[in-house]
Amino acid sequence: MTQPVVRESGGLGIPAGERASRFQRFMWRRSTLAVVLVLPLVIIITGLVVYPFFYSLYLSTLNRRETQFVGLGNFRFLFNRDTFWMVVRQSVLFALTAVAFKAMIGFVLAHVINVLPDKRQRLWRGMMLVPWVMPPALSTLGWWWLFDPTYSAFNWILGTLFGAHVAWLSDPGWARFSVILVNVWYGAPFFLIMYLAALKSVPPDLYEAADIDGASAVQKLRHVTLPMMRNIISITVLFSTIVTFANFDIVRVLTQGGPRNTTHLFGTWSFKIGIEGGDVPLGASVSLFMFPILAVLAFFILRNVRKRTAEV
Amino acid sequence: MFSSSMRTNRRWALLLAYACLAVFAVFTLFPPYYMLITSLKTNEEIAAQAGIPLIIQDGPTLFHYIDLLTNTYFLVYFKNTIIVTVISVGVSMFVSVLAGYSLARMRFWGSTVMATGVFLTYLVPETLLFIPLFKVIGAMHLLNTYWALVVVFPTLAVPFCTWILIGYFSSIPKELDEAALIDGASHLQMLVKIFIPVAMPGIIAATIFAFTVSWANFLYPMAFIYSNDQNVLTAGTVTTLIRGDVFHWGGLMSGALLAAAPPVILYAFLMDYYISGLTTGATKG
């Protein structure tokens, strides 16, 4: 009640004309200041994201020594190479499989943790998030050691229990399995956290109403939980697909793309060609292939985020 | 009778939950555990094919840690990482707080489009940009110095930090600014005296995010830096502690664990901020 009174008395002291000009001055200062405040952000994003992106389009049209314009020559060259198509297939396989498992594990864990008493939830959630917190390049070193065929744990366990021996990183099939496994280990906690937050945002009276109607656990999951979580699930899945598709750290540390390029993704292969091989234009062309896929995914994420913002 | 069957149901559900969690906890924690025990084993024990590798049998030793800190570039990497991270977190937060405030509160022509643009840049992965950035950094004569990382790391943190700060700032009631304006506060005073204190949880979450991405980034140092005295922990550990000729597992594991420790410790203390930062990115807008 006191605020309007204060506003009134504050306004009364100043003549109307002066008030208007003060207001105009304030508005002018406001919009100038607004632009000044976003300027650093605009400079960083234009200079180090937008410009490099277009520069990369230009680079991809040059020859290896960057002296000559070759048009779509780099792309034509890539289309004719088996390795390129292998990288395409492996990137798709890697991203789809890893995201599917991360999403499933995250979903199960979120439900499992959600039934615990509150205090226990914190503890388990904290423990389950450890893989997400460790820098992936470093935790992958640990996995690399675990996969060591002779001296390490996995083959010791397999050997003792089943007498089996697996060439984890030197057999193409197992190497593909291994990079996906490490990615699932690293990324599942992210899904867990997002789903747990979504589960907590479902109003409890919806479940009570379902109970009164005699709904079974499966029915509650299908008709209450899933519809309420749908938006978060799709945002998380799409976002994780982008990050997984563009992965570098895990493959680089674990297999360096080997054996015989079978585990390369766009990111690691373009690093090998562009930075290690010194063919910057070809490397740029390889990484540009990610763009259309990422653009489509980004479009859907944006739509979902907008929808969610409208709902909240 | 009805309530007792509910209770047994609930007990079964809990039991099942714990069984499931135990399995996943082994999956989650086994790699760090194995890294830890390897780093504490003697070289002889690591190389021995007899015995159980899952436990330390010959007694723990700090040999690998002492060796790491005295005979390798590890401390140089550590120092470089701290310099790079502190500066890029500072720059990122400065830029994001100003931009977040402007985009959340001072509507101007194009501000909504710009907010969407910020979100879209967050979705651009570093693997798409590192090759042109390699040329840009080269043109700036920063290749093979850690200043290259100071320049590029804010691009990883700023979009997300700005995005979540827009969310936090927008949730502050408009009455607060009006009250401050009546008291004759300028916009900058309002930002410092009202917005930053009220949005502190968001700012902490954003800072943690900026710290984590700068500390953990691996691609940019791999692409831009090749001298030991300029390298940072992630790329330095991976490229120099792996030696082909000698048994290096103990040293490598001790290096990886020590390098991963700061983010993990930070997380242990600030878990709630960490999680709210992760989830608000998608839930607030």
Q: What is the pLDDT of residues B138-183, one digit of tens each?
A: 999 999 999 999 999 999 999 999 999 998 998 888 888 888 888 8
Q: Domain check: are A247 and A165 in the same one?
A: yes
Structure token digits, residue B88: 């890029």
- Chain B: residue nearest A34 by CA? B102
pLDDT of A2-29, one tens digit each? Answer: 333 333 333 444 555 566 666 666 666 7
Check whether residue B40 and residue B155 sit in a common domain.
no
pLDDT digits (tens, 9 = 90+) for A29-69: 778 888 899 999 999 999 999 999 999 999 999 999 888 89
Indicate whether B47 and B154 sit together in one domain: no
Same domain flag for A240 and A288: yes
Does A187 lie in the same domain as A52?
A: no
**Three-class DSSP labels, A208-268:** HHHHHCCCCHHHHHHHHHHHHHHHHHHHHHHHHHHHHHCCCHHHHHHCCCCCCCCCCCHHH
Nearest to B211 by CA among B76, B128, B74, B91: B91
Do B80 and B56 sit in the same domain of this protein? no
Give one DSSP letter per residue of B196-253, joined into a string.
HHHTHHHHHHHHHHHHHHHHH--HHHHHH---GGG--HHHHHHHHS--SSS--HHHHH
Smallest CA–CA distance from B36 into chain A, residue:
A142
A296 touching B, CB under 8 A?
no
**Considering B39, B61, B83, which residue would you say is the last residue of a domain?**
B61
Structure tokens at B46: 């690591």
Q: Residue B258 belongs to a domain with what CATH number?
A: 1.10.3720.10
Angstrom CA distances, B276 to A47, A301, B43, B203, B273, stand at: 30, 20, 42, 11, 5
Mean pLDDT of the residues in chain A: 88
Least confident window among B56-60, B184-188, B195-199, B220-224: B184-188
Do A107 and A196 touch, CB atoms closer than 8 A? no
Report if residue B7 sits inside a domain.
Answer: no
Task: Inform me whether the C-beta atom of residue A228 falls under 8 Å from chain B C-beta atoms.
Answer: no
B59 band by pLDDT with thresholds 50, 70 and 90: confident
- pLDDT of B245 > 60? The answer is no
Cis link prior to A4 (omega < 30° from 0)?
no
Q: Which two tokens stand for residue B8?
A: 């047994």
In a domain, A67, yes or no: no
Instruction: Give chain A's residues under pLDDT 70.
Output: 1-28, 311-312
In this prediction, residue B222 carries a pLDDT of 96
In chain A, what residues touch B31 (CB-CB under 8 Å)? 131, 139, 142-143, 146, 185
Q: Enter the DSSP assignment of A62.
A: B
> Of B52, B232, B74, B47, which is closest to residue B146 (Cα–Cα)?
B232
Within 13 Å and on the Cβ side, how many CA atoms surround A255? Answer: 28
Quote the radius of gyration of chain B (alpha carbons, Å): 24
Among A41, A123, A272, the strongest candidate for a mutation testing the B interface, having the largest count of B CBs within 10 A, is A41
User: Would you tell me how many other CB atoms lie within 10 Å of the CB of residue B252?
Assistant: 26
Between A290-311 and A280-288, two packed helices, what is the crossing angle to 10 degrees? 40
Whether residue B125 is predicted with pLDDT greater than 60 in this model: the reply is yes
> How large is the average pLDDT for residues B251-271?
94
CA distances from B270 to A98, A118, A155, B209 (A): 28, 18, 37, 11
Smallest Cα distance from B20 to chain A, Å? 8
Q: Classify residue A66: in a domain, yes or no.
A: no
If asked whether residues B44 and B152 sit together in one domain, one would say no
Cis preceding-peptide flag for A259 (omega within 30 of 0): yes
CB of B147 less than 8 A from some CB of A: no
Verify that B53 and B127 share a domain, yes or no. Answer: no
| Chain A contact probe: residue of B74, B124, B131 with most A CBs at under 10 A | B131
**Closest CA relative to residue A91, chosen from A244, A291, A213:** A244
List strand residue ranges (DSSP E) for A54-201, in order. Answer: none
Same domain, A133 and A183: yes
A119: contact with B, CB 8 A cutoff = no
A27 touches chain B (CB under 8 A): no
Domain membership of residue B252 (yes or no) is: yes
Nearest to B136 by CA among B124, B152, B122: B152
Question: Is the torsion defined by CA of A204, A205, A207, A208 positive or negative?
Answer: positive
- Same-domain status, B34 and B169: no
- Domain span including residue A13: 2-59
Q: Name every chain B residue with its beta carbon within 8 A of the beta carbon of A44.
A: 95, 154-155, 158
B197 shares its domain with B254 = yes
pLDDT tens-digit series, residues A122-138: 899 999 999 999 999 99
Q: Is the dihedral of CA A143, A148, A154, A156 positive or negative?
A: negative
CB crowding B169-199: b at 16 or more within 10 Å, else e: bbebeeeebebbeeeebebeebbeebbbebb
Q: Are residues B247 and B126 in the same domain?
A: yes
Residues of B in contact with A297 (CB under 8 A): 123
pLDDT for position B190: 87
pLDDT reported for residue B57: 86
pLDDT of residue A144: 95
Q: What local confidence, expressed as pLDDT, does residue B202 receive?
A: 92
Claim to verify: residue B86 and residue B123 sit in the same structural domain: yes
- Please tell me the distance from the alpha carbon of residue B170 to that of residue B274, in angstroms, as a whole number: 20
Q: What is the pLDDT of residue B284?
A: 42
Flag whether residue A134 sits within 8 Å of chain B, measured between CB atoms.
yes
Instruction: Say which residue, B4 or A175, is predicted with more confidence.
Output: A175
For chain B, what is the mean pLDDT? 90
Q: Is the pLDDT of residue B285 over 90?
A: no
Considering the domain architecture, whether residues A48 and A85 belong to the same structural domain is answered as no
Residues A264 and A124 in one domain: yes
Q: Which residues are A62's β-sheet partners? A: A69
Q: Are residues B29 and B96 in the same domain?
A: no
| Dihedral of the alpha carbons of A269, A275, A277, A279, in degrees to the nearest 10 | 100
CA distances from B52 to A176, A297, B25, B63, B64 (A): 28, 47, 21, 21, 20
Q: With an 8 Å Cβ cutoff, are A135 and B121 in contact?
A: no
User: In this structure, is residue B16 part of a structural domain?
Assistant: no
Q: Which residue of B has its CA nearest to A274?
A: B131
Q: Is A76 on the interface with B (CB under 8 A)?
A: no
For the domain that residue A114 is a member of, what is the CATH number? 1.10.3720.10
Same domain (yes/no): B198, B278: yes
Residues A141 and A264 placed together within one structural domain of the fold: yes
Look up the ipTM and state it: 0.92
pLDDT at B192 over 70: yes
Q: Are A281 and A63 in contact (CB under 8 A)?
A: yes
- The SS3 call for residue A98 is helix
Count the domains in chain B.
Answer: 2
Considering the domain architecture, whether residues B108 and B33 belong to the same structural domain is answered as: no
Q: Which of residues 208-267 of B touch A (CB under 8 A)?
A: 212, 215-216, 218-219, 222-223, 233-235, 237-238, 249, 252-253, 256-257, 259-260, 263-264, 267
Q: Is residue B17 part of a domain?
A: no
Can you tell me which residue has the tokens 């790491």?
B68
Report yes or no on A65 lying in a domain.
no
CA distance B84 to B215: 8
Whether residues A143 and A283 share a domain: the answer is yes
- Choose from A149-153, A194-198, B88-92, B103-107 the range with maximum mean pLDDT: B88-92
Question: Who has greater pLDDT, A234 or B277?
Answer: A234
What domain range is B99 assigned to?
Answer: 74-283
Distance CA A5, CA A9 (A): 6
Whether residue A206 is found in the same domain as residue A302:
yes
pLDDT of res. A228: 86
Kindly determine whether residue A298 and residue B120, on different chains, have CB atoms separated by under 8 Å.
Answer: yes
**Rg of chain A on CA atoms, in Å:** 27
Q: Which of A31, A236, A298 sits opposite B282 (nearest CB)?
A: A236
- A12 plus A141 within the same structural domain: no
For A222-226, which contacts have Cβ atoms below 8 Å and span 24 or more sequence positions?
A225/A199
Query: For residue A197, which residues of chain B lie inside 8 Å, CB to CB?
Result: 275, 279, 283
Report the number of distinct structural domains present in chain A.
2
Q: What percent of chain B has a predicted confidence (pLDDT) above 70?
A: 95
pTM of the model: 0.90
Are A188 and A109 a contacting pair, CB within 8 Å?
Answer: yes
Could you give the CA distance from residue A245 to residue B92 in angstroms, rounded to a whole number?
A: 26
Average pLDDT over residues B34-52: 89
Tokens representing residue A288 in the block = 């540009």
Q: Show the tokens assigned to A41.
A: 């952000």
* Per-state percent for chain B, helix, strand, coil, to nearest 5: 80, 0, 20
**Is A193 within 8 Å of B275 (Cβ atoms)?**
yes
Nearest by CB: B54 against A56, A153, A189? A153
How far is it, in rounded angstroms, from Cα A186 to Cα B253? 18
Contact B248, A145 (CB under 8 A): no
